[in-house]
Structure 1
């Protein structure tokens, strides 16, 4: 149930009181109750405007003006029955208990909720997981681990794939296997999720943040070399929001300075750089299978590499550092970064759908592009000539002055219509956990973070969903522009 306490108001208050209650609430409606708490009416922000325009005063009593002919649900009904009471005009209904008291509410946005991202589990996931359960192979050993790893190798055309418990532990495993630790530095982008920095820090090394490129939004190769010191051991290229980094200059810099290259591909499974899959270009690639990623295992990750020595070291470390030929004999103080057979079963089923997932995402992105490319004030996500973007999220950057609305106001308006969005990541250097590691300016990442907004993008979003998002977005912008005061010259 929702907390609707701020949306409940006594019938004895004034219009001014009701306006204040509407401002404090989040649904644009207040439910009016009598002395015993039973509901006797409701009022919306639109009602208040009409009441005041008709000549009423803010000091007038609310009771004569409230809407007594309201529609309400009941706690004794199924939720679907209550939802069916909603219409295009009736967007919020209270849910009343047996005494007529409002205890919950249902909104139009719930009926039409479009999440920013959700998993697609429509393949063989249940079949394979059931097989694990019926065979009792539910822990970190079992055939699905090997099958999942092999399917990953085959898809990416890479020699080795190694499952892990998450994308973060995949990064940490790779960094430790490279011998990177106390006193070392790893160059990372400023605009990324905190896991990129956390993996470096927990290995004992120092993350060195680099600004984003203004076109690709990924780490700027032109800035990397300026950050290299005698302590630098690796460059982490994060393929942000599904678009690859410009890998050739990064690899050239790494070769000149004898550095490792770690590809953080958490958001970019299926993306390509000059025809090659991301995760196969650097020394290692690290992938995430969290529920909002291109494929999911609930939680989970994968490390890929063509380097046999690195693979052997990572394989050893992820299993407590135990010698593979001598069980319970520890060669290193390793980790328990082992994925379960249950998770791998889900992962294998997901990989069987990977081509369909990527194809659907690119069709969705093309529909977004067609709908939004002529909207002045919106910068669409990049796709460089050398890149294949898989559009993990459909991310845009807005010009608030041209649109006549702030990024956050636009997001709130979309949410009012049931459409979830997500702001870009905060730059690492602005966050308490990482601010001490910044040396230099990161103006591009700061600007992208302030004005970036990601729109819904799931593997199964249909074009109808995209049209709905774009139509709502454009109507919101147009309404905002019309409400702007004219400028007299």
Structure 2
């Protein structure tokens, strides 16, 4: 029996050769390979600036830190977030003394419910941190309208949606800042890795400094945030803000350069796989797939069981038994996690749809190669459980 893995391998000889190139150079810490990858990444997605970090989680941390240190957000400001996402959408907000305001999601798209978004805003709300869950674009027409009306900053957690489009614009480039992940199971793989993009030069300079200890070494001579001296010796260990060490290594940058060459082909294949999945899932009773908004890049195939059937455990066990890897829809309703006791947060209204996802949602992987055989296997297993009821 074939295995249906959560993700597949996007590497070939080119990535191995890139690693060997770095080994032969004897330069392993962040340098020219990372710089070239950042330049090519920004060109590919259509942003002015890109800053690579050691993970998508770090990319989120950099984005929030840059907004706080630049004065665009201040301690106590509220940031609206969807109730369903990964933990590191939320943690950087709390870690920088901002208040999370959880809003319910749309039960069909799995993204933030834009129909209640405006009502969730208070006089303390300063930003919306949108999440393009499982590759699916949010309804940015409405989100941008709300941001403009209330003068809110838009940040995009696009870690699961590289290559997705909303009205022909790359996801991650719609807000003031956008983030990406290139962890193994994502669209592109650099082992570990993340990218934060922006068109704002000042924020770009904050990102550069915060990524590496808060020092000035990586800032350009004409920096928007600090008047750099000509004394390289002094500027090598000069700290201007509380930063982190979120730097990637040269191998990850070198791999990224090769991965970007495959970008279009990978996204195209994922969309083909999704089209096949959407057609086949129609054969299964009591289940519906995530509804696409815009042009999803299909991180995975999200599904929701009929709320009247309390059988997700049986479904998950059957999938595992048949060598099909399966996961919850990210963290489900995140406010049900014990970790929230450490966060400053409020909940707007009731998280009814997030609870439904928490109880009845799951997803399986999508691949960079044709996975119709795996999808057929999935459909057969699901039909065996659900269609006989």
Please say whether Structure 1 and Structure 2 have the same fold, judged by a TM-score greater than 0.5: yes
Q: Find the residue that maps to 2:117 and give its secondary structure.
A: helix
Distance in 2, Cα, partners of 1:468 & 1:220: 33
Q: Which has the larger radius of gyration?
A: 1
- Name the counterpart of 2:122: 229
Superimposed CA distance per residue, residues 366-402 of structure 1 (whole angstroms, 9 cap, x where no aligned partner): 1112211243322122123xx001110111111165x
**Is 1:239 equivalent to 2:132 in the alignment?**
yes
Picking from 118, 126, 130, the partner of 2:20 is 130
Matching residue of 2:338: 432
Alignment match, 1:63: none
- The equivalent position to 1:391 in structure 2, one of 291, 294, 298, is 298
User: CA 1:372–1:225 in 2, change beyond 3 Å: closer, same or farther?
Assistant: same
- Which residue does the alignment assign to 1:158? 47
Distance 1:370 1:222, change over 3 A: closer
Hey, what's the Cα distance between the residues in 2 that align with 1:252 and 1:308?
Answer: 24
Report what 2:385 is aligned to: 476
Aligned to 1:410: 315
Q: What are the residue-to-residue correspondences of 1:348-359 with 2, within 5 Å?
A: 348-359=257-268
Which SS does the other structure have where 2:155 is aligned? strand
Q: For 1:279 and 1:219, how far apart are their aligned partners in 2?
A: 16
Q: Does 2:116 match 1:209?
A: no
Structure 2 CA distance for partners of 1:135 and 1:273, relative to 1, 3 Å = same
Question: C-alpha distance in 1, partners of 2:238/2:289?
Answer: 54
Aligned length: 365
> What are structure 1's unaligned runs of at least 5 residues?
1-110, 482-489
Q: Which runs of 5+ in 2 are unaligned?
A: 220-227, 229-234
Whole-angstrom distance in 1 between the partners of 2:307 and 2:127: 38
Change (3 A) 1:467 1:123: farther
Match of 1:187 in 2: 80
- TM-fit CA distance, 1:118: 3.7
TM-score normalised over the length of structure 1: 0.71
Separation in structure 1 between the aligned mates of residue 13 and residue 114 of structure 2, nearest angstrom:
40
Work out the CA distance in 1 between the residues paired with 2:82 and 2:25.
44
Comparing both chains, which one has the higher relative contact order based on Cα–Cα distances under 8 Å and sequence gaps of 6 or more? 2
Q: What TM-score do the two structures reach when normalised by structure 2?
A: 0.89
The answer on whether the counterparts of 1:123 and 1:349 sit within 8 Å (CA) in structure 2 is: no
Task: Give the drift of 1:317.
Answer: 1.6
Distance in structure 2 (CA, Å) of the matches to 1:233 and 1:164 = 26
Q: Which residue does 2:223 correspond to in 1?
A: none
Alignment of 1:166-181 (within 5 A): 166-179=55-68, 180-181=73-74
